[in-house]
Amino acid sequence: MSTLTSVERDTTIFDLINKEQHRQESGIELIASENFTSPQVMEAAGSVLTNKYAEGLPGKRYYGGCEVVDEIEQIAIDRLKSLFGATWANVQPHSGAQANTAVFLACLNPGDKIMGFNLAHGGHLSHGSPVNISGKYFQPVFYGVEAETGLIDWDKVEKQALQEKPKLLICGASAYSRDWDYARLRNIADQVGALLLADISHPAGLIAKGLLNDPFDHCHIVTTTTHKTLRGPRGGVIMMRNDFENPFGITTAKGKVRMMSSLLDSGVFPGTQGGPLEHIIAAKAIAFGEALTDGYANYATQVAKNAQAMATAFIDKGYKIISGGTDNHLMLIDLRTKNGVDYGLTGRLAENTLIKADITINKNMVPFDDKSPMVTSGIRVGTAAITTRGMVESDMARIVDLIDMVLMNHDQEAKIASAKTEINTWMKQFPLYV
């Protein structure tokens, strides 16, 4: 008999997992980077594949017994390639930040200059934050949005790139609600001899379904997380539509110039990771398979429609959305004024008040914020998770009504409690896993 049969069930942890499931099911989830995966994605993530070591790539492993995981990982790669029209992909990065770090290792030397979107304007910390390896080991410079419009001015980006001459130009963000001009960015990158990386972690699912500009023809390398709009397990991937000989003159032992794909594979393993998480790779394969269906195309379309409806509802109430609206699944709301009136709201106050009504959002810096990152003047909301639950445009106005009611009554505990009761009852109409 296996020693596992006598293992006692860990009720401490499973009680907490049940509690977390209840939390997810009873509230309104508006965190733009979150979503709900399908039961089969979670089943694969919790499977026996977690037992397997598989350092290396399908067919080229450092361990025996990899025949089955080779098939699984190859299916994940093939499905991902067809989802985005890529010709090369690595599905092993443990997270989005890991995917970016692997790209940096493959493309840069320590101290090289990178140019990314300003963190304080909605960028991601893995694009050069001083507290992240990207900002400690490389030399970051940032472009941002215009104070007036909340939009990126591509002429300014070009001017700055010509001055700074970065080795790597990075586009993509965590809190930018507008689309990206990848053709223009490539033109800028080419002028300064930079490689262009698109990190599509947030809008990946919308890009896959043709709802936003396609970065693949213009950007040398594309990274994304798999757990945001893509609705897979927590993880990252790296892709290219067109492989190319690395421009750094790095050759193989036989003197042949190494392809970029080979440097990127090495950047993941052994560069920044050890054994891949084959259980997560299986879950990724399932999620990519789901994303290839018409059902997911309808989902992605609805995510965008819901974001439009939500933005309209906020604007109708007098809230200020940075850039005036959204092209994707998220928006950034500046709470400093509503209809021109200062109600003393901050991102922190909004987050802490809304959670009492079981509405989950995150506080977020707005561009040119005068408050600290722990306080902030704004909130970020997104429609990926609530759309998975089956909500449609008409539900967005009701959500915004509830948010507005709670924010305008942030010191009225009874009103907040009644909003919570209404929300818990309402959410029963959108069953998730029960």
Ligand X SMILES: *Cc1c(COP(=O)(O)O)cnc(C)c1O
Give how many residues touch ligand X by CB under 6 A.
14
User: Per-residue x/- mask for ligand X, residues 235 to 254, rule CB under 6 A?
Assistant: -x------------------
* 3 state SS of 361: coil
Nearest-10 Cα torsion for 347, 350, 352, 356: -160
Enter the tokens of residue 215.
């970065």
Does 174 bind ligand X (CB under 6 A)? Our answer is yes
Helix (H, G, I), strand (E, B) or coil at 415: helix
> What's the rounded Cα separation, in Å, for the pair 278 and 73?
7
Q: Tell me which residue of 115, 22, 9 sits closest to 427, measured CA to CA.
A: 22
Q: Binder to ligand X among 37, 90, 92, 126 (CB under 6 A)?
A: 126
Pinpoint the alpha helices (H) of 193-293: 204-208, 260-266, 278-291
Say whether residue 173 binds ligand X (CB under 6 A).
yes
Query: Closer to ligand X at the Cβ: 126 or 346?
Result: 126
* Position closest to ligand X via CB: 96
Q: Which stretch binds ligand X (CB under 6 A): 167-175, 356-364, 373-381, 401-409?
A: 167-175
Interface stretch with ligand X, choices 59-67, 199-207, 309-317, 318-326 (CB under 6 A): 199-207
Residues of the binding site for (6S)-5,6,7,8-tetrahydrofolate:
119, 123-125
Q: Which of residues 89-108 bind ligand X (CB under 6 A)?
A: 95-97
In a 3-state reduction of DSSP, which class is residue 19?
helix
Active site residue 199: yes
Q: Which of the following is catalytic: 61, 79, 81, 228? A: 228
**Residue 113 annotated to the active site:** no
What is the token pair recorded at 379? Answer: 């909130």
Which of 25, 29, 73, 199 does the annotation list as catalytic?
Answer: 199
Q: Which has the closest alpha carbon to 103: 268, 277, 274, 276?
A: 268
Under rule CB under 6 A, residue 199 binds ligand X: yes
- Compose the 9-38 pattern: x for residues touching ligand X by CB under 6 A, - for all others: ------------------------x-----
Q: Which of 34, 55, 153, 351 is catalytic?
A: 55
> 88: which 2 tokens?
């090369």
Minimum distance, C-beta of residue 228 to ligand X, in the bound complex (Å): 6
Site string for ligand X, 264-293 (x = CB under 6 A): ------------------------------
Which of 52, 234, 348, 356 is flagged as catalytic? 234
DSSP secondary structure string, 186-213?
HHHHHHHT-EEEEE-TTTHHHHHTTSS-
Q: Which stretch binds ligand X (CB under 6 A): 5-13, 142-150, 172-180, 250-258?
A: 172-180
225 is catalytic: yes
* 343 belongs to the catalytic site: no
Residues 406/353, Cβ–Cβ less than 8 Å: yes
DSSP string covering 80-121: HHHHHT-SEEE---SSHHHHHHHHHHHH--TT-EEEEE-GGG
Is 186 one of the annotated active-site residues of the chain?
no
Taking the complex as a whole, the smallest distance from the CB of residue 379 to ligand X amounts, in Å, to 16
What is the rounded distance in angstroms from the CA atom of residue 397 to the CA atom of residue 309?
A: 7
| Least distance from ligand X to the Cβ atom of residue 380, Å | 11
CB atoms within 10 A of CB 266: 16
Sequence letter at residue 249: G
3-state helix, strand, coil in the chain (%, to 5): 45, 15, 40
Among 15-23, 196-204, 240-248, 374-382, which window interacts with ligand X (CB under 6 A)?
196-204
The tokens describing 160, both together, are: 């700055």
Annotated catalytic residue 155: no
Interface map 53-92 toward ligand X (x if CB under 6 A): ----------------------------------------
Of 126, 121, 152, the C-alpha closest to 137 is 126
Binding site for ligand X (CB under 6 A): 33, 95-97, 124, 126, 172-174, 199, 201-202, 225, 236
Residues with catalytic roles: 53, 55, 199, 225, 228, 234
